[in-house]
Chain A
Amino acid sequence: MTDVTAMTATQIAGLVATGAASAVEVTQAHLDRIAAVDGRVNAFLHVDTEGALAAARDIDARRAAGEELGPLAGVPVAVKDVLTTKGVPTTVGSKILEGWRPPYDSTIVERLRAAGTVMLGKTNMDEFAMGSSTEYSAYGPSRNPWDTDRIPGGSGGGSAAALAAYEAPLAIGSDTGGSIRQPGAVTGTVGAKPTYGGTSRYGLVAFSSSLDTPGPCARTVLDAALLHAAIGGHDPRDSTSIPAPVPDVVAAAKLGATGDLSGVRLGIVTEFGGEGAEPGVMATFREAVDTLTKLGAEIVEISCPHFRYALPAYYLIAPSECSSNLARFDGVRFGLRTGDDGNRSLEEVMSLTREAGFGPEVKRRIMLGTYALSSGYYDAYYGQAQKVRTLITRDFTAAFERVDALISPTTPFVAFPLGARTSDPYQMYLADLFTIPSNLYGGPGISVPCGLSEGLPVGLQVMAPTMADDRMYRVAAALESAVGTFTPPAL
């Protein structure tokens, strides 16, 4: 048997289904790989060796009993530490939840189990998903397998690094402003943000409720689509979950893989015309556009005039919601408690706990959001940002009357060196310049590798209308069929 860790999820599922490999063998191979390389990558915050092997044994037993198993049965998956896992530590990359073992599974994790996947463990992330590099993780940064002195993106850098380092064939991320797509782009992997409400947020530790979207990460578009189909769909426990079936993303990925995009109209956003983006990224993107044209797509330029206000609007809405969502971390019911020495008041203990438990970026955003929601400032900040959000939605709606999907580079720059942007929050925020508009609108977006710039991966983003997730899979799979996948140098 060739190295199973080098295989796609689709290939692994095939091996398990035919009995050519057991789920336990597949799982053990990935656990071995993690043991071998994660010291250098730091993709995982927690490896659930026992749980993974037990789940794998269960799959093997069910297969032996002749049970019909799903298309991803026996495939290992890494889960971003933002999702609750019953009895398995969930930290959200923060000291404030160190040691917390949730009493319940998130819907996504429940569905992963139901699909017969094997959860390897929990992956590293920027604290509370606030960041673009994993450098804001309280447990040290993850490293990019393409160059371990560089960042793997964020906030879901752990999941993306685990894929690029062949520690897992599938991973789950969550995307509030680009936290699935941007890490995908800088690690040469595929990351998809589904339509908001297309995947359940139940059990996703909230950063910004109106933006947070869990989604699939993989090394191929088809694998991402299979994972998307497994975790998506209506969940009555999430009021914002859309009561409609997931668009047929798997069929769309297969259709795209034929390499035919004739009749597909794609729009290039004028406002993403290179300002602030690295020339190498823009050059690689333009080559990919040529490739898409050769595949039959019609390319037009489309102006989305309000996209320029997306970043400031995002940095009012997301911190506002976060300032409220993170209020529950007070040391009273779970997680860290500091200063409870019997002499201090409840307020002091709450205050000391939050002082000790939250990192600087989280505190910065809580303060921003608290300010933006205060009486007398609400209209000028939060209220105004919501208006911008409406205008951005109108830009998308108008664009989708003319084209099937919009395309852009996923992120303005390739993976930057560790430490390069931590001293200037605004430089860090720019990493999400091209991904934030989709979050404000609520539509789906996918990042697919489209080439290399200075030896580092560049991602192309496809943005589609809400509940038309299938369209972006078709375009992404077509591009993948033409440019191939990208493998980093051996670790």
Chain B
Amino acid sequence: MTTTLPAYDEVVARYEPVIGLETHVELGTNTKMWCGCPTDFGGEPNTRVCPVCLGLPGSLPVANKAAIEATVRIGLALNCSIAQWCRFARKNYFYPDMPKNFQISQYDEPLCFDGYLDVEVNGELVRIGIERVHLEEDTGKTLHVGGATGRIHGATESLVDYNRAGIPLVEIVTKPIPGTGALAPEVARAYVTELRDVIRSLGVSDVRMEEGSLRCDVNTSLNLPGEEWGTRTETKNVNSLRSVERAVRSEMLRQAAVLGAGGRITQETRHFHEDTGDTTPGRSKETATDYRYFPEPDLVPLAPDPAWVAELKAALPELPRLHRRRLQEAWGLSDADMQSVLNAGAVELIEATVAAGATPAAARKWWLGELSRRANETGVELADIGATPAQVAELQGLVDAGKLNDKLARTVLEGVVTGEGSPTEIMTARGLEVVSDTGALTAAVDEAIAANPAIADKVRSGKVAAAGALVGAVMKTTRGQADAQTVRTLILERLGAQG
């Protein structure tokens, strides 16, 4: 594409964007949607399969009740109505990673419909309408072998792994979201973030975009003020929260360039590229597949008992947004401080650390400081850094008890992260405990005074500030294990100076 893109400010001054999001969430049920195969990751290809999820002739699906319950809970958390009666439908199309060459999904009778999710953008609440929440099955994965690119072109063989085939998948579709103007990209990101947090709080999925357990398609269109909504494109392959924001922005810029040049937008699927930050066309919707939806005759209709739905509703956890508000107050954080906690993905970690006995300030210090730094350096999620909230609380307990100083605590934390053991174990094993034995310290202090007679004289003559160099020398000989304040007091005592 050689077109020069217009400036974002100009685009939003001229056009009004309408966005929409379709999100797929893999549920964390123990078994697949229609059979008893396990859902855990990591098996050898085609080992988590049976006649049902392989679509062998004669096999039949039986709906997973836990998946239905999870979907209803998601619907309830998103303020949806729950269908009193609905059916699964077959979506027919040929693709080798789909064992039956149809996907069992829902069509015009979704399990949950007509809800909303409130999200915060720049301190303002934006209400995102939810069109529907429905349940379907995931497909397998095709691997093209022998080609240079891993794509089908040039490949000598295509291999299919059906371990993921039949994993329950929840699709959440928003209503079109107009009126967000320049904030459209941020609204999109805030929505997916909030949706992820809501689903995580329900405990029904680990909602990891990087691992594909949360996937997002972004619809974008532009129109002139007062005119009808424009033709929309659907951007796929959006694999992180940041990409959600970038994809909307990129598509707004691209569409504005096309429209500005007198062109028209083609209704199509586009692919987002993480590296370049722009989108390229996929298949055109104008020659879209006819999916020939019809009610799935192998399954009976779903009719959730209203009493059961009411029970699930009553048992919903607090919404993450309200929960965060409550934590912010309890922790005494400013909006900006809370935002940095959120950005670091540390809310739950700090919460758990506080629950394990640390003060909010100490918990925040460790997670946003040392541990975030390490996470950034090594490129892992903070939650996967290797230290648990309980260990962080234990570490802080050792500091509070005077057994570790700040520097030693960092060394111990290093050991925790690399899996050496608990903070106490590491402290003991590596002999890192603060030296508080005055006899041993006095010897070290005398040694330092003897080795630095000039400095000692300065201190004796009242230049108390010079004692810092002697403290440093003592800390060096004790390998940092002494308490600096104690060392200083001892030095001043020894030299007859007043602190």
Contacts and interface: CB of A to CB of B under 8 A. Distances in A.
Interface of A: 83-84, 90, 92, 97, 100, 102-104, 106, 201-206, 208-210, 236-240, 320-321, 323-324, 327-330, 332-334, 342, 345-347, 350, 370, 373-375, 378, 382
Given A210-B297, A328-B99, A328-B101, A205 B57 contact: yes
7 contacts: A84-B58, A97-B57, A104-B58, A204-B58, A240-B297, A333-B56, A374-B292
Given A92-B57, A333-B56, 10 more contacts: A102-B57, A236-B62, A321-B297, A324-B90, A324-B92, A324-B294, A328-B100, A330-B101, A333-B55, A345-B152
> Which among A92, A106, A375 has the highest number of chain B CB atoms within 10 Å?
A375
A93 B90 CA distance: 26
B58 A202 contact: yes
Contacts of B60: 201-202, 237-239
A204 B57 CA distance: 8
B298 interface: yes
Contacts of B299: 239-240
B96 A83 contact: no
B63 interface: yes
B229 interface: no
A239 B57 contact: no
B292 A324 contact: yes
B427 interface: no
Contact of A375 (B54, B56, B290): B290
A346 B58 contact: no
Contacts of B56: 84, 102-104, 333-334
Interface string B155-192: 01010100000000000000000000000000000000
Given A324-B292, A328-B100, A205 B58 contact: yes
Contacts of A210: 297
B57 A240 contact: no
Interface string B51-91: 10011111111110000000000000000000000000010
Contacts of A342: 156
B300 interface: yes
Nearest to A321: B297
A102 B92 CA distance: 24
A482 to B, nearest CB: 40
A236 B60 CA distance: 10
Contacts of A100: 57
B87 to A, nearest CB: 12
B94 A102 contact: no
B102 interface: yes
A327 B58 contact: no
B62 A333 contact: no
A320 B297 CA distance: 11
A321 B54 CA distance: 19
B294 A350 contact: no
B292 A370 contact: yes
A330 B99 CA distance: 10
Interface string B31-60: 000000000000000000001001111111
A347 B152 CA distance: 12
A324 B298 CA distance: 12
Nearest to B294: A373
A459 to B, nearest CB: 28
B285 to A, nearest CB: 13
B58 A333 contact: no
A82 to B, nearest CB: 8
A321 B294 CA distance: 9
A240 B55 contact: no
Given A92-B57, A328-B101, A350 B94 contact: yes
Nearest to A342: B156
Contacts of A345: 152
B57 A327 contact: no
Contacts of B152: 345-346
Nearest to B52: A237
Nearest to B50: A104
B96 A202 contact: no
Given A236-B62, A373-B294, A84 B57 contact: yes
Ordered nearest first, which 6 A-B pairs have the shortest CB separation?
A327-B101, A209-B297, A373-B292, A210-B297, A203-B58, A205-B57
A316 to B, nearest CB: 11
Contacts of B90: 324
A347 B94 contact: yes
Contact of B54 (A90, A330, A333): A333
A210 to B, nearest CB: 4
Nearest to A376: B290
Contacts of B101: 327-328, 330
A104 to B, nearest CB: 5
Nearest to A208: B297
A402 B389 CA distance: 74
Contacts of B51: 102-104
A206 B102 CA distance: 14
A210 B295 CA distance: 10
B55 A328 contact: yes
A210 B299 CA distance: 10
A375 B57 CA distance: 27
Nearest to A331: B96
A240 B87 CA distance: 13
Interface string B124-166: 0000000000000000000000000000100010101000000
Contact of B158 (A92, A206, A346, A373): A346
